[in-house]
Chains A and B, each alone.
Chain A
C-alpha cells in the first residue's frame, strides 16, 4: 500500500514485470513496485514461492533479472526506470 498521507510523488511511468505492465513512481525501487503487485517475487531453489526479506541489500532474496541484458540485481537497491523490463526467475 503506497502511503498517500503527506507524500507527493511525481507522475508515474510503466515498467514491465514478467510481461505485465506495472505503474512505478520516480524514485521507487524495483522492490517497492513489485511488492505493490505481490509479496511473491520469485521461486526458491526448491521451487517454493519466494518473497523479499531484509529490504536493505543484505539478504539478496529479492534478486531479479533486468531484461534483455540479463544482469541480476537486488530489487531493494535498484531504482525503477521508465521502460525497464524485469524477469523474476
Chain B
C-alpha cells in the first residue's frame, strides 16, 4: 500500500493541471488514467476559449441565462489564467486570444444577442455589440447574411492536443506520479481515507479528486454517491489546411456553431452537435464505446459553418471525430468538495477546457484552505439532496 496526499482519477486537463498545482505546492500526488493522458474529452474537444454566454444557456429560459451569467467571475479568472499559461508551463500551446465573435443572422437572434451583451456587461464581461458591417470589417470571412455580432476581445482558442500534455509534463516535473493505462479497479472509503486500486497497486490518500469526465459519475457510484453528470457524445470536424482566413473564435447565437482556424491551417468546426452514444449489452450508455456519427448533425453543423463563413464551402472535410464528455443536471459545471463525503472532490460537467485551468487552480487552493468563493456557484453542494438517502 502506497500513501499519497491526493489521488487524482483522470488524466485530462483538470486532473493533470490539479496534479501540477498540488505537486508544486509540495503535496504527494498520484494520478491514474485509464487510457493515455489527454485522450478523452480534453484532447478531443475543439479548443475553444469562449467567455461569452453560451447559446445553450440562452435557449432554455431566463433563469438559466441569469444563473450562467453568475459564472462571469470564473470567466474573468480563466481569461487571466489562459493569458499566463504558455509562460507558466514553458510550452507552445497555440493559445490565440485575438477575440471571439458570436454572430446573429436574424432579427430575433440580434435581440437575443443584445440582451446577452447587456447581461454580460453587467457582470463585468466587456462584450461589444457590432453591426454586420463592423463584424465583417473585423472578420472579412463572415457572410453578408450576418446582421450583428457580439465581440469579446479575450476569446480565442488553444491547441487541445497539447494543453493537457503540457500540464502532465509540468506535473511530473514537479514530482507528481502519473500512471496512464491504469483503470481504477477498486475504490473505497475507509474511515477518513480513500483506497484506490489500479493495476497491481493500491493507493491510500486523504483526498480524492474525480476528474474523469463521463466516468466521474461511475467512479462516484463506486463510492456510493450520486453525481448528476450525464455522458454526451459530440461530433466535431476538421477541414484540410488552408491559408489564414479566420483569426477569431466564431460562434453563433442562434445555431450550434464554433469555428476557428488552427495554427496548421485546418478549420475546426463544432458547436455541440450530438453523435449517438454507444450502449453496453444491458442497454446502458457506454462512454467507452465509439459513438456513432449522426449524418444530420454533420450536415447541420457544416450548413451553419457555410452560412456564417461562406469560403469554407469548397474546402474538403478530412475528419469528423467524436468525443464523450459529461453535462450536469443543470448545465453548470460541478466542481468542488462533496459535502457528504469530505475529502472527495469532483470536477466536470462542461466548459472544462475553457475553465479547466481555473477549476484546477482553485481546487488546489481550496484544498490548502485558501478561500475560493468563485467556486461556490459550481459546488456539488447544490445536488446534496440526491445523496441524502445514500447512507
A residues sitting closer than 8 Å to B (CB atoms) are: 45, 63, 69-72
Contact = CB atoms under 8 A, between A and B. Distances in A.
Contact of A45 (B241, B313, B314): B241
B241 A72 contact: no
B243 to A, nearest CB: 9
Q: Can you list the 8 inter-chain pairs with the closest CB atoms, starting with the nearest? A: A70-B314, A72-B316, A71-B314, A45-B241, A72-B314, A69-B314, A45-B264, A72-B240
Contacts of B313: 70
Interface of B is mostly: mixed
Contact of A63 (B264, B265, B316): B316
Interface residues of B, number: 8
Interface in B286-315: 313-315
B61 to A, nearest CB: 42
Interface of B: 240-241, 264-265, 313-316
Nearest to B313: A70
Contacts of A45: 241, 264-265
Contacts of A71: 314
Contacts of A72: 240, 314-316
A80 B74 CA distance: 57
B377 to A, nearest CB: 44
- Give the one of B241, B264, B315, B316 with max A CB within 10 A: B316
A36 B315 CA distance: 27
Contacts of B314: 69-72
A72 B240 CA distance: 10
Given A45-B241, A45-B264, 11 more contacts: A45-B265, A63-B240, A63-B316, A69-B314, A70-B313, A70-B314, A71-B314, A72-B240, A72-B314, A72-B315, A72-B316
